[in-house]
Copies of this chain bind each other. A is one copy, B any other.
Amino acid sequence: MDQAKIFNAFMIHKGLKTTNQRKAILNSFLHSRSHCSTEDLYLKLRKKHPKIGYATVHRTLKLLVECGIAIEQNFGDGHARFEPLRADSHHDHLVCQQCGLIIEFEEPQIEELQNQVAAAYQFTIRNHRHELYGLCFRCARK
């Protein structure tokens, strides 16, 4: 089931309407570079849909998070960022504090150790953040 279908099903379930604006936002979000902020997406959308409002972009992104198509990230620059969420995979992030580059990484051993830590404290993990901040290769050279 692709994401448009998931979104439709979710909207019907919630008694909401899959409007043209919402379709355009979902589409633009899915074709966006990852980790875009609300404003990134709003500005990108304006080019093709000048009448779309910031509030609608914001509200739709919240809906995408609610139905599991998107995940909200926060890398400490004061702007919430969103990225498409794939049910079958997970990654964490390296964030360059100089140029803003975001690198994604997967490390199953860390995930496993994480589960062991939680188990030791009888803690139920619902989600987690693991972010390494510093300098990417390019920026470290300078």
A interface residues with partner B (beta carbon < 8 Å): 74, 76, 94, 96-97, 103, 105, 107, 109-110, 113-114, 117-118, 120-137, 140
Contacts and interface: CB of A to CB of B under 8 A. Distances in A.
Contact of A134 (B94, B125, B133, B134): B125
Identical subunits present: 2
Give 10 nearest A-B pairs by CB, closest first: A122-B137, A126-B134, A124-B135, A125-B134, A128-B132, A124-B134, A124-B140, A130-B130, A94-B123, A125-B132
A110 B121 contact: no
Given A94-B123, A126-B97, A140-B122, A117 B105 contact: yes
Contacts of A74: 74, 76
